[in-house]
Structures are given as C-alpha cells and as structure tokens.
Amino acid sequence: MFNNIQDICTEHGAILILIQVKYSEKIFGGYNPIGWHNNNPCSFNNYGLNGFGFNGFNNHGFNGLNNHNQYLNTQESFIFSFESNEDIKNMKISRVINSSYAIYNTGNSVNFGGGDLNLENGYVSLSHSGNYENLDINLKRNRY
C-alpha cells in the first residue's frame, strides 16, 4: 500500500504528474525525466553507487546528498498550471532556470526545485524558489 505520492512515484523513471486541486478546476503538474529514487543511502548500492561522493545517473547528476535528501540535476524538467480543465489555451509553463536544483528528492514528497511545486501529505503548494521560471501563481497548501 502506498503511504504518500512519493511512494507511488519512486523508482519508476521519467514521470509526468497531473494534480487537480480539490474543490477547484485548477490543475498543476510537472515532468521529471529522471524520476524519484529511494533516498535511503543504503539503496544507492543498487545503482553501483556508494552513497557519498557520486555523480551522474541516467545522464543526470545527483547534487548535494544531505542525509536522506538530495537535488537532482536536469535541464529537461518543467512545471505547469491550468486555471481550468476546460481552457488549455491559458496553460502556464515554467522551465528550469537552475538545473542543479531542478528536482528535490526527499523521502516524503514530490518536489520540483525545492518548492516551486511541492506535493506532500495530500497537499499541493507552489512558491517561487528561483529554480524554475515564475508561474505567477502563489498557492499555499491546498488539498488535492
């Protein structure tokens, strides 16, 4: 059984996420070409990595292993929003600005850019951390 959205997304490779805000027509999402990985340091041995000073994974790099959390490097990810599922012409897309901090791999959330788009414990939030172009939307902890 899955405990959280990160459990669903872990170890599946590239992934496209679509989330509809509860009691709303707003849709948010993101594309992660790397995928999220089990961030237990012992599990990195499954990839031939020692869990300390490693670099490169599927042509993308791990950056900043900090206990169990690390940033993953990619230029290919993006996040997006729709104000309504009826109006795709008003979609906003935000591309990576700082590829070293494109994906934040944590144990309990799906996180783009360290907070630009964060899905955790049934909540979605957006803020502008500077790692993605600004979507001009500030969404604080809404249920999905």
In the chain, where the domains are located: 5-143
For residue 79, the model assigns a pLDDT of 96
Collapse the DSSP code of 30 into the 3-class scheme (helix H, G, I; strand E, B; otherwise coil) and give the result: strand
Strand order in the sheet with 27-32: 15-20, 27-32, 78-82, 92-95
Q: DSSP for 48-105? A: T--SSS---BTTBEEEEEETTEEEEE-SS-EEEEES-TT-GGG-EEEEBS-GGGSEEE
Collapse the DSSP code of 45 into the 3-class scheme (helix H, G, I; strand E, B; otherwise coil) and give the result: helix
Token reading at 66 = 């900090």
| Residue for token pair 């459990």 | 7
For residue 128, the model assigns a pLDDT of 84
Token reading at 88 = 């795709």
pTM of the model: 0.72
pLDDT < 70 regions, the chain: 1-12, 38-68, 85, 137-142
Smallest CA-to-CA distance from 77 within 111, 106, 47 is with 111
Tens-place pLDDT, residues 16-54:
998 888 888 888 999 999 887 765 544 433 333 333 333
Collapse the DSSP code of 31 into the 3-class scheme (helix H, G, I; strand E, B; otherwise coil) and give the result: strand
